[in-house]
Amino acid sequence: MPVRDAWPSDLDEICAMIEEHAEYEGNASLRLDRAAMEGYLFGAHPKAWVVLAHPGGAPESVAGFAFCCWNFSTWEGRPGIWMDDLFVRPRYRRDGFGSQLLTELRSRTDGRVEWEMQDGNSKAAAFYERLGAYPVTGWTRYRWKPR
């Protein structure tokens, strides 16, 4: 199960998986601007990066992805990874791809690897806990959206 950084040639596949994930979560109307995403991921000053998992080592097929950016903890005094999205296509679930993607992220930092999960997603919670992750109690996430 190879895991690798995404290349510019993976852009359409990345966007397709993000849209598939949105549809899976109930938002069938999401359509990403491919040109904007290309700049954010592969432009002169990338804002995020993607790690891909491939079934059987076949680079032309993608089982899932982790969409990430760097963060920094002042309390730890070191960078970590913010995983904005983890998605494994339904036909590849329970084959170890999610674990491989998270293991890869863990290997890239000695800081925190953090993410959010929707309340009530008991399958995801059980999966994360099996990997040794835990919910952060005592903190409430706030969001400020553009006007």
- The pLDDT of residue 85: 95
Q: Is residue 139 part of a domain?
A: no
41-97 pLDDT tens trace: 999 999 999 999 998 766 568 999 999 999 999 999 999 999 999 999 999 999 999
Q: Is the pTM of this model over 0.85?
A: yes
pLDDT band, very low/low/confident/very high, at 146 (cuts 50, 70, 90): confident
Sheet with 49-53, edge to edge strand ranges: 3-5, 49-53, 64-73, 78-88, 113-114
Q: Is residue 56 part of a domain?
A: yes
- What 8-state DSSP symbol labels residue 144? -
Q: Is residue 104 part of a domain?
A: yes
Q: Is residue 142 part of a domain?
A: no
12-40 pLDDT tens trace: 999 999 999 999 889 999 999 999 999 99
Q: Is residue 11 part of a domain?
A: yes
Range of the domain at 126: 3-130
What is the SS3 string spanning 103-141? HHHHHCCCCCEECCCCCCCHHHHHHHHHCCCCCCCCCCC
- The pLDDT of residue 1: 55
- The pLDDT of residue 32: 95
Share above pLDDT 90 across residues of the chain, in percent, rounded to a whole number: 74
Provide the CATH number for the domain around residue 11.
3.40.630.30
- The pLDDT of residue 60: 65
Mean pLDDT, residues 131-146: 85
- The pLDDT of residue 95: 92
Q: Is residue 86 part of a domain?
A: yes
The total domain count for the chain is 1
Active-site residue flag, 128: yes
| Alpha carbon of residue 40 to chain centroid | 15
For residue 81, give the H/E element and its range: strand 78-88
Catalytic residue among 40, 92, 128, 134: 128
The tokens for 75 are 């309390």
